[in-house]
Amino acid sequence: MEQFFSCHGRRLLQASLWKDGVHMRASSGLSVLRKSGACQGPLTRTFPIWWAHSGCLAGSAPRLFKNHLQRSDIPSRWASGATYNSPPSSEFVARSVGVCTMMRLPLQSSPEGLDAAFVGVPLDIGTSNRPGTRFGPRRIREESVLLRAVNPSTGALPFQSISVADIGDVDVNLYNLSDSCRLIREAYQRIAAASCIPLTLGGDHTITYPILQVLAEKHGPVGLLHVDAHTDTADKALGEKLYHGTPFRRCVEEGLLDCKRVVQIGIRGPSMTLNPYKYNRDQGFRVVLAEDCWLKSLVPLMGEVRQQMGDKPIYISFDIDALDPAYAPGTGTPEIAGLTPSQALEIIRGCQGLNVVGCDLVEVAPIYDPSGNTALLAANLLFEMLCVLPKVKTV
């Protein structure tokens, strides 16, 4: 806790300094956000800041004297000596306080200097049933306030290992799907150029196609762990070859995937043919049906997946409709009899040690789940993805 003094003399304030801003909270509930520039972590010492009120009445809004807090006042390191961002503790900063970013991490305008970044792609014009995934990134961020800095179950310490921030949303074109894919490509080219691993908040599954275009350009054809109720390898619908049912067909056609290292898990649902997975298996994909996952642990399966993927680059694409709608109703194309949240954790945790070069969590449509549980589940799965990135230390 940091000590500050108000113009009333002795008011104790709590502060959490983030990489791109200072957030201060008074015991009265008054708050202010002031950009500080170059802070690398929270304060590790106490110093005074003087406040001036617009009046001396109780509850009047505080403001900082201009330029009183200098950049040199802000230490650049944690007490431990690390220089990484971390979510603020709710012990000192209320979860309802602050700008709504993923895990309340700093909001950064560029991927420069980051090892990994959360990025939103609020797109839903590629959906075939219920729209609404354009609101997915925002709701996932809202629910992510419940996440914390370490993963006791796996021993992962992401915020003591790598530099992570939220870099906002791709500015998509909601009136043109092809143009949106161009905008996504351009945004991810900047991310890839910075050697930053993207953790994407979708958005419908169309967005994975332009992302993989960029990552394959950087890494060559990548392996794919695709968790979904649907294979998303249709050729076209209503005459269109680009929508959320076709991204991996387009990826195969463009040579973006190492097809012998593609695994699809959770596939299920009615079909128009008796052999709906022929195309996938003809390409060399391993298709694991949801019914083959019922009532069992997926730890053995993920052992096989790790052997299949080897040490080459792999991308994780997780459609929230892979989960049973009892757990994740907030999606546009739900299918009954899906995976459980514990199986989802086993899948992602089973990627520990793989050369993960990017991840996405797509198809959250929060309007169909007022409880927020679908978005909460999505936020937790994104945290688990962060925890399996190659540079993240475990204890």
For position 88, what pLDDT does the model report? 93
Record the pTM.
0.81
The residue whose two tokens read 């230390």 is 393
What residues does each domain of the chain span? 113-388
CATH topology of domain 113-388: Arginase; Chain A (3.40.800)
Q: Do the Cβ atoms of 204 and 124 come closer than 8 Å?
A: yes
The residue whose two tokens read 């979510």 is 87
- Cα–Cα distance for residue pair 15/93, rounded to 1 Å: 8
Q: How far is CA 40 from CA 17, 105, 248, 352, 380, in A?
A: 8, 12, 39, 27, 25
Which residues does the chain have with pLDDT short of 70? Answer: 1-82
SS (H, E, C) the chain: CCCCECCCCCCCEEEEEECCEEEEEECCCCEEEECCCCCCCCCCCCCCCEEEECCCCCCCCEEECCCCCCHHHCCCCCCCCCCCCCCCCCCCCCCCCCCCCHHHCCECCCCCCCCEEEEEECCCCCCCCCCCHHHHHHHHHHHHHHCCCCECCCCEEHHHCCCEEEEEECCCCCCCHHHHHHHHHHHHHHHHHCCCEEEEEECCHHHHHHHHHHHHHHHCCEEEEEECCCCCCCCCECCECCCCCCHHHHHHHCCCEEEEEEEEEEECCCCCCCCCCHHHHHHCCEEEEHHHCCCCCCHHHHHHHHHHHCCCEEEEEEEHHHECCCCCCCCCCCCCCCECHHHHHHHHHCCCCCEEEEEEEECCCHHHCCCCHHHHHHHHHHHHHHHCCCCCEEC
For position 263, what pLDDT does the model report? 98
For position 72, what pLDDT does the model report? 39
For position 83, what pLDDT does the model report? 73
- Cα–Cα distance for residue pair 386/299, rounded to 1 Å: 19
Closest CA to 375 of 333, 339, 328: 328
